[in-house]
Amino acid sequence: MVNTSEPARQQLAATSIFKEGLKAGWPICLGYLPIGLAFGVLAQKAGLNAFEIGLMSLLVFAGSSQFIAVSMLSGGASVLSIVLTTFVINLRHLLMSSSLAVYLRSANKTWTALFAYGVTDESFAVNLTRFRDSNWDWRQALVVNHSANVAWIASSVVGAYSGQFIPAGAFGIDYALIAMFLCLLVFQLRGRLYAVTAIVAGSLAVLLALLIPGNSYIVLASVLAATIGVIFRRKDILNA
């Protein structure tokens, strides 16, 4: 029998963790390519250079906020209004982080902070599903987050360099972000309770968008729909 040393076993474990995380994260990476390309093109059209676009993707790493920030820059909005708008939009990360926090108890503060930086709508959906349904580890989830991070930064920089050759909205890349969210929603519908909650959230978002200025309706609709979903679950409505 061949004895495997402790460093070798740790190396094998690390390789396995990386492979499993990359296996789960590659669809996100693939989906980020056209979205990041679209962002890079739009940001280049707004007057940002490749370095600024890459730095923005590195420091912010929030697709919807970056798209909105670039749109506001194009419209001549002030820095303060852009910061406040993107802050409100990203408040949904409080909800996502709260849902994931219970699975990160074994990670120290440094790893938790690095994990939090990489949380997006897509990585949240993938990791939460795997945390619930399988023996998923926070280290595997970390690989999902940051493989997506690398794909996003790289694709946005490529879009920045190629923006001068690609017309804005070409090839349907402006629809890529919406398409990805719809796909993630479908994968989350695991029963009638989830479907009804999604319908309630969408309906409330449309209604509140007509009543409330800005983007705070997104967070409010999410909180209200989640609350209704919890009530339905506790009362065993819809047999979820």
Listed by start position, the domains of the chain span 8-175, 189-240
The answer to whether the beta carbons of residues 131 and 100 sit under 8 Å apart is: yes
Instruction: Give the per-residue pLDDT at 55.
Output: 93
The answer to whether the beta carbons of residues 121 and 65 sit under 8 Å apart is: no
Say which range, 14-28, 126-140, 180-194, has the weakest mean pLDDT: 180-194
Closest CA to 68 of 93, 101, 47, 43: 43
Residues 6+ apart with CB under 8 A from 148: 25, 28, 29, 32, 118, 120, 122, 123
Between the alpha carbon of residue 135 and those of residues 27, 223, 228, the distances in Å are: 20, 28, 29
- Percent of the chain past pLDDT 90, that is, above it, reads 13
> What would the two tokens of residue 37 be?
């390309």
pTM of the complete model: 0.68
Instruction: Give the per-residue pLDDT at 148.
Output: 92
Q: What is the mean pLDDT of residues 121-132?
A: 88
Assign 3-class secondary structure to 12-71. Answer: HHHHHHHHHHHHHHHHHHHHHHHHHHHHHHHHHHCCCCHHHHHHHHHHCCCHHHHHHHHH
Instruction: Give the per-residue pLDDT at 11.
Output: 65
The answer to whether the beta carbons of residues 49 and 156 sit under 8 Å apart is: no
Between the alpha carbon of residue 19 and those of residues 9, 25, 68, 140, the distances in Å are: 15, 10, 34, 8
Quote the CA–CA distance of 121 and 55 in Å, as a whole number: 20
pLDDT at 115 over 80: yes
Q: What is the pLDDT of residues 185-216, one digit of tens each?
A: 776 677 788 888 889 988 998 998 888 876 66
Task: Centre a 10 Å sphere on the Cβ of residue 204 and count the other Cβ atoms it contains.
Answer: 19
Instruction: Give the per-residue pLDDT at 158.
Output: 92
Q: What is the pLDDT of residues 45-68, one digit of tens each?
A: 888 899 999 999 998 888 878 887
